[in-house]
Amino acid sequence: MKQYMYRILVVLGLAVWLVSCTGTETLIDDDPGNIPEESTPNGTGNIFSLAMRIPLPKDYMDTKAYNGVDRGSISEILIDGIRMVLYESKVVKYCLDLDIQVQPENSGFKITGGDLYNWATDGNRIFIQTTARTFERGNYDMLVVINPNDSIEAKTEVGQAFTALDAAFNTAGMYRSRTVSGGEGTYEEPAYFLMMNSQNLVELVPGHFYATKEKAVNSPAFINLERVAAKVTCDYKGGTSTKSTAVAPYGRFVMLLDYNNQLAAPWGDDYDIPEDCIDCPVQGCNGKFNRKTKQCSAKPYLHTYDGLGLVSDRVRYMVATDLTWEVDVINKKSYWLRHLTYKAGGTEMEEQGHIDREYFYAEDPNFSALSGTGETNLKNNFRYISNSNELIPGASGSTAKKLYPQLSGYKYYNYWSWKQGDTQPVYIPENTMTQNEQKKDVVTRVIFRAVLKREQFDMSETEENPTLPLKSVEGFFVFKGGNTDIENYKYNNYNKDNTTFFILRPEDVAIYASATTTEHIHIYLRDGILEAINQFKVDNPGFNFSDWKNEEPAQSANLSFYKNGEIYYEVPIEHFSVSEAQGVGKYGRFGVVRNNWYKLNIENMISIGAPVLPEPKSEFIEDATRSAVPETKSNANILIRNQSIIF
C-alpha cells in the first residue's frame, strides 16, 4: 500500500467468566470442550450461565496451548478479576465478582477458578463459560468488566445507576503491568487490560433462566467483550524497490558539494562517485572507478575521476539510520463503554448487534470542539511529546522504541547503532473526532526520528557491503528549489509528491549567503537560492551562517537548517482507508478505536523530514498527497489495520 501511513492495533485476549462473590457453584464438567451454539432463550426457571467471547488474532492461535504467541500477547489476555453487573430498570441489582483467572504458565497460559465451567477456542476467539447459578428470574441489562479498576468498581456497586458510566474516566487506568524476563532482559510490560462489553449493555430476558443447571450450561447467554485500549506497532520493512532519492536506494540521500567553480572547491577527495558513474567512460576501457580512490581499476589504463569531465557532479551520500518512534497526542479521557456512532461513510448509525466491525467508529469525550482551543485546554485533554529527547531511547523520561530495518538486500545494517529493535507494542486509549476536527493538534500520531550519517567506502572496486561506520553529520541545509528537472539534474533529491530539494553543506550555504550574484553558485541551485536565504534571514534573525555549529535547528519556507543529522516525521494514525471513508479527509479517516491494532510499516524514505519536532498545529491533516489503496483487512474479530508509510 502506497499510503503515507500507518499500521495499527489489535488486542489479544481472553475474557473471562463470571462468578459470584457470594459463593461458588459445583462444576458439572471441569474438562474444557466445545461451547454450545447460541440459541433462542426458552428457559422456564431461575438458573443462569454465561459465555463470553473474546477476539484473538488468528495468526497467534493454533491450539489451546496457545502455540506461537508473539511477545506481549500473553500479557494481553491475562485476567485476575471479573465483575458481572445486572441492571434492573437501569439500577444495579446484582454485582458479582467472579472467581476466574487467566494466568501465564511456561510459554502459554492457564485458565482456572471456582466459577469456571468450560472454555474453548475456534482460533479467532476464546470462549469462557461460567458455572450455572441462581438468580431471581426477570428482565435485566448486563455489563461485564474484566480486570476492573477501583473507579469502575465504585460505579457498579449495588444501587448505582447506569448513568454513572456516562462520566469519562482517566485513561491511565486501562491496564496494569507485570515484570517479564526474557532475551531482552527484565522489563515491565502492560498486562491485565480493562475489557468491557463490545457495544451496549446486553439484554437478558426471562427465557435466559432455566429450570436446571444442566439446561442452563447447555444454553448460556453470550456476550462479546473488547479491550478498552488500542495497540500500535511500527516496522521498517520496505521492499526490494525501496528507494529514497532519484539515484540512491534504502533511505539514502544525496548532498551536493560546493559551487560550480570546481578548481576552487575545498572538498578535495572527500566526495563519492555516483553509483551510475562507476563504469569508466574512456573508449576501450572496461574498468570501474574505485569509490574511495577515484581511480580506474583497468590495466594498462589508469584514469582519474576528473577524466569523466562534466558527466557528473561531486556528491556525498547520507543514510537514514537509528530510527525511533513514539506515540503523540494521547487522549486523557475515555468512556467506559464505547459510544456507538456513525459507521464508515457517516450515514448509518451503528446499532447493537451489528457485526461489520471493520466499519465501526466511536465517539469519545473529546469528539468535537477541541482543536485550536488553546494550549492549556488541549493539555488538559491530551498528552503531547514536549521535547525531542523523548524520541531518544535511554534519555531521561523517554519511552521511545527502537526500529531495525527488515529490508530485503539492505546493506546498511552495520551502520545502525543497535543490532536489534524493540518489539514492545504501545497501548493507547481511544481517540476519535468529527470530520472537521481531523487536525494535527487533536489526532493521535506517531513521531519518527532518524539520524542521517555520512556514507563511507573502503578500497574495494565495488562496495556491496560497506563495513566502515558512517560518519556523523554535524549539520546541513535543505533547499526546496533549484532546477526541478530530475532527468537532467539527477542529484536532486525528491519528495513523495515529486517536488525536489537539495541537501547542502553549511560551509557552502555560508558562501552563498554572502553572495550578491549567482556567478559561483552551483548551476543546479541558481533558481531561487538567494531568495530562500534572504527569507531564512527574515524568519531566523541573528542566525550566524559562519558559526552554524553553535546554532540550533531553524526553518523557513524554502530553506531549513538541520543539526546533528536529526530528522523528524509525523504520521497521523488512520482508521478508515480513503475508499472506506469515501474520500480524502472524510469522516473517520483518522482516529484510534479501542480493540484495534494499528500496524505502521515504513516502506520508503524519500522526503527529508523536519529539522525539529513537528508542532501539533490546528490545521487539517489531509492535505498531503496519499494513495487511496484500501487497508488490508483481518477476518478475525480483532481488526488489524495496516498502514504503509512513505516519508
Neighbours of 578 (CB within 10 A): 20
Rounded distance between C-alpha atoms, residue 319 and residue 452, angstroms: 5
* pLDDT bucket at 182, cuts 50 / 70 / 90: low
Among 243-247, 575-579, 627-631, the least confident range: 627-631
CB under 8 A, 24+ apart: contacts of 357-360: 357/637, 357/639, 358/580, 358/633, 358/639, 359/576, 359/580, 360/593
SS3 461: coil
- Report the alpha-carbon distance of residue 554 to residue 536 in Å, rounded: 8
For residue 381, the model assigns a pLDDT of 96
Q: Is pLDDT at 60 greater than 50 in this prediction?
A: no
Looking at residue 70, its pLDDT comes to 42
**Among 421, 367, 289, residue whose Cα is nearest residue 592:** 367
**SS3 call for 641:** strand
pLDDT value at 334 more than 50: yes
Dihedral over alpha carbons 306, 307, 312, 318 (to 10 degrees): -50
Residue 435 or residue 309, greater confidence: 435
Task: Say if residue 298's pLDDT is above 70.
Answer: yes
State the average pLDDT over residues 492-521: 86
pLDDT tens digit sequence for 371-398: 999 999 999 999 999 999 999 998 988 9
pLDDT at residue 61, as a whole number: 33
Amino acid occupying residue 595: N
Q: Read off the pLDDT of each residue in 402-411 and give the average, rounded to a whole number.
A: 82
For residue 581, the SS3 value is: helix
Give percent above pLDDT 70 in the chain: 79
Enter the DSSP assignment of 184.
T
pLDDT of residue 13: 28
- Cα separation, 455 vs 295, in Å, equals 19
CA atoms within 13 A on the CB side of 543: 26
Identify which has the larger pLDDT, 266 or 178.
Answer: 178
pLDDT of 52 > 70? The answer is: yes
Mean pLDDT within 508-524:
87
In 405-499, where do the E strands start and end?
A: 426-428, 445-454, 471-472, 475-479, 493-494
Torsion on CA atoms 601, 603, 607, 613, rounded to nearest 10? 20
Residue 26: what residue type? T
Q: Which band of pLDDT confidence, cut at 50, 70 and 90, is reported for residue 541?
A: very high
More reliable by pLDDT, 152 or 287: 152
State pLDDT tens for residues 453-468: 988 766 554 455 555 5
Digit-coded pLDDT (tens) for 344-374 = 999 999 999 998 888 999 999 999 999 999 9
Sign of the torsion formed by the C-alpha atoms of 333, 336, 341 and 345: positive
Q: Residue 72: which pLDDT band, with cuts at 50, 70 and 90?
A: very low
